[in-house]
A and B are shown apart, each in its own frame.
Chain A
Amino acid sequence: MTPARKAALSRAALTIIGWGVALWVFFPILWMAMTGFKSEIDAVSTPPKFFFHPTLASYHEVFERANYWHFAINSIVISVLGTIVALLFSVPCAYAMAFSPTKRTRGTLLWMLSTKMLPPVGVLVPIYILARNAGLLDTRTGLVIVYVLMNLPITVWMLFTFFKEVPREILEAGRMDGATRLGEVWHVLLPLSLPGVASTALLSLILSWNESFWSLNLTSSNAAPLPSFIASFSSPEGLFFGKLSAASTLAVAPILVFGWLSQKQLVRGLTFGAVK
C-alpha cells in the first residue's frame, strides 16, 4: 500500500468514526424531536417506529396545558442574570489570581474546583433552609444566587486560564499610560481575552439553562424555569412520551439554536491558548 493510499484510508476511517460519535451523541436529541411529532400510540410502539404519520397534537396539548412563555422567560432572565453576575465576580477574581498570585492562589483554585465534586444534593437541606429563611424560595433572585455560586468555580477557572495567556507587560504598559486597575481590565485585559470571556459566558449560560436540580427544588410556579416545565409533564398521570418529548424539544430549542449560532465563538474560546 502506498503512503498516499494509507493516508487516504486513515482519513476515511477518521471521518467514519467522527460521524459515528456525532450520531451517537445526537441520536437521543433526534429521537426526542421525532417523538414530539408522533401520536402517543406511535411514541410507545415496539419496535420503535422510524417512519410515522407526523402530528402536532402533542404540541397543541402542551401549549394548552402550560404557559410555555412564562417558563421560557424565567429561564432567559435567570440564566442571563446569573451569567452577568457570575462574570462580575469572576473577572476581578481571575484577574487577581492571574496577575497577583500568592502562594495560596493554587490552593484556592483547587478548593474552588473541589466544590464542583460535591453532589448538590449534599447541600440541598442547608440551601433550602437558607433560601426559605431569606424569603427566596420560588423567586428568580434565589435561583440567580444559586446559579452564580454553582458556576463561579468554572467561570473563575476558565477566565484564569485565559487571562494567564495575556502578557503581563501589556497590562503594565496600560498602567504606565495612566490606566486605573479598572481601566486596565476594561481597556486592555477584556478586549484581549474577548474570545475567552465570550466562551466563558456562553458556557455559564448553557449550564444555567440546563440546570434542573436546583430549579426543581427551589421553585414551584412563579420563578420556575423550563426544566420545571418539562418535569410538569412527567409526574401526575404517568408518562406520556409524546407530550414529554414535545415539551423537552421546546425547552432545549432556544439554547440549541443559540449554541448553534455561537458555536464558532465557543470552540474558538475553548481552544484559545491550547495551540500556541
Chain B
Amino acid sequence: MANVTLQNVRKTYAGGNETIKGVSLTVENREFVVFVGPSGCGKSTLLRMIAGLEDITSGDLLIDGVRANEQQPAERGLAMVFQSYALYPHMTVEDNMGFALKLASVAKDERHSKVMDAARILQLEPWLKHKPGQLSGGQRQRVAIGRAIVRNPKVFLFDEPLSNLDAALRGQMRVELTSLHRKLGATTIYVTHDQIEAMTMADKIVVLRAGNVEQVGAPLELYHRPANLFVAGFIGAPKMNLLEARVLQVAADSVTVSALGQTFVIPVRPDGVTAGDGVTLGIRPEHLLHVSEGTLGGVVTLSERLGSLTILHVKSDDGTMLVVQTAGSDTTDVGAHVRLALPTDSAHLFRADGDALPHVAPRPLGPSHSGGGSDIPAAQTEHFHA
C-alpha cells in the first residue's frame, strides 16, 4: 500500500482553459479519501491525472514519495474502477479480471488462483464463465472491482462507481465497498458528486470547486466546521439555511448581527469584519428548533414526513424561507403557525468573501458529543440562547 502526494498540481488544456488550479494534498497510507464537488469541479480530471490518463501540466505527483508524472498508467501501480464499469464485453468475467495479469505474463495457474481469490471476496464465483452482458448492474460493478483487486494495486481509484446503480443497490454497494476497504486496508481515492457517499465512506473528504480545493477534512469536521459558504452549502442535506445578515457590533469573542428582523449574538471571532458589514448567517435545518418558546415566527408552507424525521419549509414573518428538520414524525400541518428557536452556538457566520468566521469554542466532533441529526434532544436543553 502507499501514499499519494499532490504538490501544486495544475491542468491546463490546449485552449488555455485551466481546470485544475494548483491542488496540493496528501493521501495517507490506507486512507479512504473522497473527492467531492459539483459537476465540472475537476474532481474526475484530478483522479484521471493521478491515474495517468490525463497529463499533468505542472506540479508533482508523488506515489510513495516517487515522482510519477511521467510514468505510464500501469507503471504507477494503481487500479481504477470506472463509472461505466468499462468491462471488456468480449471477455468472460474470469478473463476480465485476469487481463492485467495476462498482460504482465503471469503464469496461468497463478492467474487463476488470484482471480478465484478475488471472486470469492466478491461472491462472483458462479459468474466466472459469463460475459459481462449477462450480468446485472451490481454484478458488473463487482467484476470491475474484482479486476482492480486482482492486480493488488498500491492505490484504488474509483470514479463515481455507484452512480449507474439504482438507489437500493447503491446503498448496499456503499456498505460493501466500505467493508471491503476495511478488509483490504487499501489506500483509496474515490470520486463522487453524492455527498451521502462522501460522508459515509470517507476518512477524509476533499471538497473541490472549479479546480480549487475548498476544504479538506474528516466528514464531521466539514459538516460542523465548514471553512466557507460553498462547503457549508454543499455538505449536508437538506441544505444549510443561509440568511442575509448585517453586523451590528463586534466584540473579541462574538459578533452581533441582525437577521430575520432580530438580533443574534454569534460566538465567533470577528476576523476581518466590522460593524455595518454584510455577512451570511448559516444554520443547519436540524439546529433550528421547533419549540413553542422560540422567538422566530412563521407559517409552514410544506411538510416532508420521512417517518424518522420531518422537514418543514417555513416562511418566516419577514418573508424569508427557512428549512427546519425535526426528529420523529412531526404532525404540524401546512398553514400552521410555528415558533422557532435559533441556537446561536450552532450558527455559522460567513464574511462577504465567503470565508467562515472561526468559532470561539468549536463544536466537538467526537462521537461522545454526537454530531449530525442525532443530537436534537440534547440540543434542546443545551443551546438555549435565542
- Within A162-200, which residues are at the interface with B (CB < 8 Å)? 167, 169-170, 172-179, 183, 187-188, 191-192
Contact across chains for A179 and B103 when beta carbons are under 8 A apart = yes
CB contacts (< 8 Å) of A191 on chain B: these are: 90
Contact across chains for B51 and A176 when beta carbons are under 8 A apart = yes
**How far, in whole Å, are A172 and B73 apart by their CA atoms in the complex?**
9
Contact of A170 among B52, B79, B88, B103 (CB under 8 A): B88
Q: Which residue of A lies closest to B150 (CB)?
A: A177
CB contacts (< 8 Å) of B72 on chain A: these are: 175
For chain B, give the interface size range.
20 to 34
Contact across chains for B84 and A167 when beta carbons are under 8 A apart = yes
Q: Which residue of A lies closest to B153 (CB)?
A: A176
Task: Specify the main secondary structure of chain B where it touches its partner.
Answer: loop
**How far, in whole Å, are A118 and B103 apart by their CA atoms in the complex?**
46
Produce 1/0 per residue, B82-99, CB < 8 A to A.
Answer: 111011111000000001
Q: Contacts A192-B89, A192-B90: A175 and B74 contacting too (C-beta < 8 A)?
A: yes
Q: Which residue of A lies closest to B84 (CB)?
A: A169
Contact across chains for B78 and A176 when beta carbons are under 8 A apart = yes
**How far, in whole Å, are A191 and B79 apart by their CA atoms in the complex?**
23
- Within B36-53, which residues are at the interface with A (CB < 8 Å)? 51-53
Q: How many A-B contacts if CB must be within 8 Å?
A: 58
Contact across chains for A178 and B74 when beta carbons are under 8 A apart = yes
CB contacts (< 8 Å) of A172 on chain B: these are: 53, 73, 80, 82, 86
Contact across chains for A169 and B86 when beta carbons are under 8 A apart = yes
Q: Which residue of A lies closest to B83 (CB)?
A: A169
CB contacts (< 8 Å) of B151 on chain A: these are: 177
- Within B139-156, which residues are at the interface with A (CB < 8 Å)? 147, 151
Contact across chains for B86 and A167 when beta carbons are under 8 A apart = yes
Q: Which residue of A lies closest to B98 (CB)?
A: A177
For chain A, give the interface size range.
10 to 19
B273 on the A face (CB < 8 A) = no
CB contacts (< 8 Å) of A176 on chain B: these are: 51-53, 73-74, 78-80, 100
CB contacts (< 8 Å) of B89 on chain A: these are: 170, 192
**How far, in whole Å, are A172 and B54 apart by their CA atoms in the complex?**
11
B104 on the A face (CB < 8 A) = yes
Contact across chains for A177 and B99 when beta carbons are under 8 A apart = yes
Contact across chains for A170 and B53 when beta carbons are under 8 A apart = no
Contact across chains for B100 and A178 when beta carbons are under 8 A apart = yes
**How far, in whole Å, are A170 and B90 apart by their CA atoms in the complex?**
11
**How far, in whole Å, are A174 and B72 apart by their CA atoms in the complex?**
12
Contact across chains for A178 and B53 when beta carbons are under 8 A apart = no
CB contacts (< 8 Å) of A177 on chain B: these are: 74, 99-100, 103, 147, 151
Contact of B82 among A173, A183, A188 (CB under 8 A): A173
**How far, in whole Å, are A66 and B88 apart by their CA atoms in the complex?**
52
Q: Which residue of A lies closest to B76 (CB)?
A: A176
Nearest CB of chain A from residue B204's CB, rounded to whole Å: 24
- Within B9-63, which residues are at the interface with A (CB < 8 Å)? 51-53
**How far, in whole Å, are A173 and B151 apart by their CA atoms in the complex?**
13
Contact across chains for A178 and B79 when beta carbons are under 8 A apart = no
**How far, in whole Å, are A58 and B354 apart by their CA atoms in the complex?**
94
Q: Which residue of A lies closest to B100 (CB)?
A: A177
**How far, in whole Å, are A167 and B164 apart by their CA atoms in the complex?**
15
Nearest CB of chain A from residue B301's CB, rounded to whole Å: 44
Nearest CB of chain A from residue B360's CB, rounded to whole Å: 49
**How far, in whole Å, are A183 and B90 apart by their CA atoms in the complex?**
15
CB contacts (< 8 Å) of B52 on chain A: these are: 175-176
Contact across chains for B88 and A173 when beta carbons are under 8 A apart = yes
Contact across chains for A173 and B90 when beta carbons are under 8 A apart = no
CB contacts (< 8 Å) of B79 on chain A: these are: 176
Q: Which residue of B lies closest to A191 (CB)?
A: B90
**How far, in whole Å, are A177 and B78 apart by their CA atoms in the complex?**
9
**Could you tell me which A residues sit within 8 Å of B by CB distance?**
167, 169-170, 172-179, 183, 187-188, 191-192
Question: Which 5 pairs across A and B sit closest by C-beta, in order of nearness?
Answer: A178-B74, A177-B100, A169-B86, A173-B86, A178-B103
Q: What are 19 pairs between A and B in contact, CB < 8 Å?
A: A169-B82, A169-B83, A170-B89, A172-B53, A172-B86, A173-B82, A174-B88, A175-B52, A175-B74, A176-B79, A177-B74, A177-B100, A177-B147, A177-B151, A178-B100, A178-B103, A179-B74, A183-B103, A192-B89
Q: A169-B84, A173-B86, A179-B103 are in contact. List 19 more A-B contacts (CB 8 A).
A: A169-B83, A170-B89, A172-B82, A173-B147, A174-B88, A176-B51, A176-B52, A176-B53, A176-B80, A177-B100, A177-B147, A178-B74, A178-B100, A187-B88, A187-B103, A188-B88, A191-B90, A192-B88, A192-B89
